[in-house]
Structure 1
């Protein structure tokens, strides 16, 4: 049987239909329109203190519209999570897809959650082609400028229609402040401002809301030049959970046994482990569960005219009954023996519909296997060698003869959890700032590989915020809204991968989007970020070019302006060591009325990105 199936596949490669060619061309077009890009930045740790140096190495793993050499400058910005405030940014040279450097955390920064946001100088439709964000925590020993607290006013009553909160503000030594404090608070779409009274208090009333994506109330306090922040979750009376069902392959089909993945999350997309009962009409037929990832699976053979539902065994949930999708009368079901494989993909097709189907293995950018297949029997076991398929997440899609998708599944090809090399330290314990000697023993490392290694105290790492290059490149950058893994490496947990690929394995919208692409969709506006300058005289444009001299690294360089006094500074020759300044001088005898202005588009873009990027602000705070 194995020889027969492989023979069918080999013959079929040379007999593609026009429809097959059309879909394959659409995938090539999709690769041009929506290229997958990948920038990874390895930071030395993810918990810092004020006035501490952040060290990093950046790797451009995959570019899109631009080639590797076009990316010349990397910007790294520090963003405060609570109000997405742009704290600072630094620029670094990129050479051969690599950049490394350091930046210093400001001494006056307050304790809190932050992000390090990295992006390169190349723009596609006005936004950086390559971006990367790393959540960090900054801990400081700086006392806040004043004391502030938030609490419920009295004991919360579940029957009340409003949350009544009291905000109290005092000086560091618990005295009343001489002037009232301005308080801006945000809860859901509600955004209001008030001031404390003579006692330094403000009572806030907000209507209860059961369906908020973010249940926290955020408060910004400002007293003269000083400011502070507070946040507090306002838990709903009953949980409103999101329950989703994922029949393997996409659809339930009557009289065909299927695997059904299901996922339970709260409104902040945090996983919820639950126990539930599976109903056929009004009778319980099974007890099912989700694990700590909020994911579970069960088996079901739908019967004609039967209704299936799941009831959660928890009385504190708003809606505890959830219906499964209706089964098709006829159709096709795919079942993978293992979705995390090395060199061979094994799966079973069960069918009560069309006999002639098409099997594709692809990644929506390139099609690697494209063969017609005849379902001679109701169930067929198939093996596909993955020799010419690249490592990573791939898709198998089965369509009918008109290229309408019947079933689809994600799998991971060429999975290998072997370590590329081992690291051995010369001691198990170290004193602060003690030298650490490491011995690297390569296993599968290529001779020209680049390795970046950071050595820090164990308490400077948070597993929740850890990023490793394998997990990011193969998973986080490929799958949206991936559930949080309790440990640092998503990639090395094969059981976790199996579950993620089951509940993220049906993406009809992607197939439809690919089919609707047009050649005109490839037209993109491409540009580059620059640091520019302008010389004016009495706030007016110049009429003749001028010459400027730069000084900052023991070298003098000349820069010429155009006729209007404009000049550029985005030049690898105009660089200096980190934390050193470059000074500009006008080479003219009479400098009266002249002014040099610098326009830094990197800072402007960093500020825009800080407002647009949605950071995961999950606050684990006690509630009442």
Structure 2
């Protein structure tokens, strides 16, 4: 299996790289401006609701937004959790390989999860920080506290139907906005006017209302919401005529935009399966602009795909848009005259038939608790050939949640949400093929929220920054070396970088250029890592002042959305009750966050850890070190085989002086005298094969001195050396698939786990299929399987299926 996956990845990634090069080249040929290399990020998580102590598993996708092909511009993805208090509590540096990466978080107190509530998962690359914050991926993650008693307000609100819930406080806090199709109302034309109604928190509400003439308060027409607070009506104004809207049972008057005496309105309809553009105007306009010539510009994400010329000589003009002309997704259509002035604009959604058949099936519908299950993923085209793709799959306990789920997914994100600023409510509705009116209502979204917040009206431009953020292929160290006094560069100095991680040491070196600059580029290491940078001149002496550039990127500023405020619904209460019930049934106590405790006792000081692997000898000290007046005396008496002459310390087996390292930093021999014997915690020696870890610097043996925390010598400034910690790439854990027949101390927890199975890399085999096996939990419940991913040709895929566990 492992061999195949590697081969499958190679084939898949080779294909997507070729397609990416082709599509990017085509885009650049279609516009005079350079198309920005923005990275579109999506993160698939196993769930959106978690208990304290559970693991959150994720798979990241980075794509080129103009084709949705996997994009490998950056190799570092910053994945963060932002708390309800608007603080970044944890950050993973996730490695991206050919646009794909994966990782996890353990949601406990040690990670920074202090209380239940709505957290935000966000992901971005350093490169994307050059652009609008909209390109930062954001997703709400809820941490549940099933032990907390529900408050009365959520209980009362949850007992209402969805329609009644949307009506709650609608009149008191409503906000209705009106959007003429094409941008403006035209006199003596049947104009389509769309509207969106929201409450004070921005959530859609159901409303009904009436349109009146402002001159005599006479009723003109009625209107009402059709879907998620949106609707539309027809209005034919006369020149100079004004209108206002009133909601039923309200006296508030909302003005309707005024009409133009002359102009053009661009519309769009699906007529018998055809995409039709409709250009409307009036007699007054035609009389003043006889047989006017116009250009109709079609753009996708700010890039012009094509344009056509059109003479308008009648009140209504129909044009068919062939489905293969424009890319799938949201397109912008603009009507401009011979003087290049825009007259009307419209957003349209193009959906295309796909040569793809993806299915997720189980070997049966009903299973026993703990029974082995086989899930088959099939990814083929319509002729039965394999459709190369990278998928991620989650199998989760629904915990009694029977609601229709219209959450965000990889298809809604890349085909719609990525193009519209602000929150789109129930995005999954518009891509659920079981909804016959989904495309009609998606058009309503584009007429209202979409048009107001469309991201790509122009090509994205970088922020006005003093220094741009660079695309990162790995972790880099850079800086310069100068004279301690003054600014003169120290050219040709040797800069050495030592990385200490899990008892291993990696040594790298480079030489400063004429400006004293140095750089260690695109390094790959995992986890918390200690590093020491030091500079020496041609004679091997530590000289100059080493100035290190910033490498720890500060997290983006947090900007929580007030809409994150959450009120429990009936389904939320059901989920919590079911989780608590199964925990209690199996005798497992849910983890909870402890109240903060003030520690009054002194923390016990742990001995300094050896950072250069296993030393040959280790010497620790107690009160006897106080009897030595100098550090040289302490070394001479304590360490056998060492000779001290003046300020020179050497092993008798070698001719040259030993390398001295104090708290991980190389020191010159004459500097050792600054150390007080009473400040020494321990001394280690490397004087055999173990010294080779330092290369040529360890040729005469190494003496490592560790001092106590707060020791006086720690205040001594070593200008030619920098020592610090850095977080490397996060080393993702493998999802553990428990076997019920193998008992251990965590068997009870695994028996009631909420995520039964997670696999971030599901790649179809040569026959277009792959089988996944795991054991069910011990709980009678309904399980939902969700598959998300991208094909090698950039098609986002979402498939779901359910099965039950019952006795």
**TM band (smaller chain):** 0.5 to 0.7
Any conservation in 1 of the 2:195–2:232 contact (CA below 8 Å)? Answer: yes
1:455 matches 2:395:
yes
Q: Give matches, 1:464-475, under 5 Å.
A: 466-475=407-416
Report the Cα distance in structure 2 between the residues aligned to 1:380 and 1:286, rounded to whole angstroms: 26
Contact preservation (8 Å) 1:363, 1:393: yes
Give matches, 1:247-266, under 5 Å: 247-266=180-199
> 8 Å contact 2:131–2:463 — kept in the other structure?
no
User: Who is 1:190 aligned against?
Assistant: none
Three-state SS of the structure 1 residue aligned to 2:296 is: strand
Q: TM-score, normalised by structure 2?
A: 0.52
Q: How does 1:276-287 map to 2 (within 5 A)?
A: 276-281=209-214, 282-287=217-222
Q: Does 1:90 align with 2:102?
A: no
- Asked if 1 retains the 8 angstrom alpha-carbon contact of 2:329 and 2:349, the reply is yes
Distance 1:139 1:118 in 2: 22
Secondary structure, in 3 states, of the residue corresponding to 1:372? Answer: strand
Aligned partners of 1:584 and 1:568: how far apart in 2? 14
Taking structure 1 as reference, are residues 548 and 331 closer, same or farther at Cα in structure 2, changes over 3 Å only? closer
Show the counterpart of 2:684.
Answer: none
What's the CA shift string for 1:409-428, capped at 9, x where partnerless? 11112344897411112344
- CA contact under 8 A between 1:531 and 1:599: conserved in structure 2? no
Q: Distance in 2 between matches of 1:324 and 1:525?
A: 44
Q: 1:557–1:249: structure 2 CA closer, same or farther, 3 Å change rule?
A: same
Do structure 1's residue 323 and structure 2's residue 266 form an aligned pair? no
CA distance in 2, matches of 1:273, 1:565: 67
Structure 2's unaligned 5+ residue stretches are 1-26, 154-167, 536-545, 570-807
Whole-angstrom CA distance in 2 between matches of 1:40 and 1:518: 21
Greater RCO, 1 or 2 (C-alpha within 8 Å, sep 6+): 2
Taking a change above 3 Å as real, the CA distance of residues 38 and 520 of structure 1, as seen in their structure-2 partners, is closer
- Select the structure of larger CA radius of gyration: 2
Q: Deviation at 1:53?
A: 2.0
Q: Relative to 1, partners in 2 of residues 1:565 and 1:403: Cα closer, same or farther, differing over 3 Å?
A: closer
2:456 & 2:124 partners in 1: Cα distance?
30
Give 1:245's aligned residue.
178
Q: CA deviation at 1:299?
A: 1.0
Of 309, 318, 321, 2:244 maps to: 309
Contact 1:425 1:439 in 2 (8 A): yes
Alignment match, 1:203: none
> Secondary structure of 2:445's partner?
helix
2:525 is aligned to 575
Q: Within 2, Cα distance between the matches of 1:441 and 1:478?
A: 30
Mapping of 1:314-463 within 5 angstroms? 314-315=249-250, 320-338=252-270, 344-352=274-282, 353=285, 354=289, 355-356=291-292, 357-363=294-300, 365-416=302-353, 420-428=357-365, 435-444=372-381, 447-459=387-399
CA deviation after TM superposition for structure 1 residue 463, in Å = 7.3
Q: Structure 1 residues 570, 268: closer, same or farther in 2, change over 3 A?
A: farther
| Distance in structure 2 (CA, Å) of the matches to 1:468 and 1:35 | 23
SS at match of 1:95: coil
8 Å Cα contact 1:74-1:119 kept in structure 2: yes
Would you say the 8 A contact 1:121–1:128 is kept in 2? no
CA contact (8 A) 1:244 1:263 kept: yes
Deviation at 1:618, TM superposition (A): 3.1
- C-alpha separation in 2, matches of 1:361 and 1:451: 32
Matched, 1:500 2:445: yes
Shift of 1:430: 6.0
Aligned to 2:506: 557
Q: Any idea what SS the aligned residue of 1:87 has?
A: strand
What displacement does 1:260 show?
A: 1.0
Q: Is the 8 A contact 2:191 2:234 kept in 1?
A: yes
Deviation track 1:252-305 (CA, whole Å, cap 9, x = no partner) reads 111111111111112322111111011123111222111341101111111233
1:470: how far off?
0.8
Q: Which residue of structure 1 aligns with residue 42 of structure 2?
A: 40
Q: Choose which of 111, 129, 140 in structure 2 pairs with 1:135.
A: 140
**Contact kept? 2:379, 2:387, Cα under 8 Å:** no
Query: Matches of 2:229 and 2:74 in 1, distance apart?
Result: 40
- Contact 1:246-1:262 at 8 Å conserved across structures: yes
Tell me the equivalent position of 1:79.
Answer: 82
Other-structure match for 2:122:
117
Of 260, 267, 273, the match for 2:206: 273
Q: Distance in 2 between matches of 1:501 and 1:371?
A: 23
RMSD: 4.9
Judge conservation of contact 2:208–2:223 (CA < 8 Å) in 1: yes
In 1: Cα distance, 2:455 partner to 2:497 partner: 53
What displacement does 1:311 show? 0.7
Contact 1:546 1:560 in 2 (8 A): yes
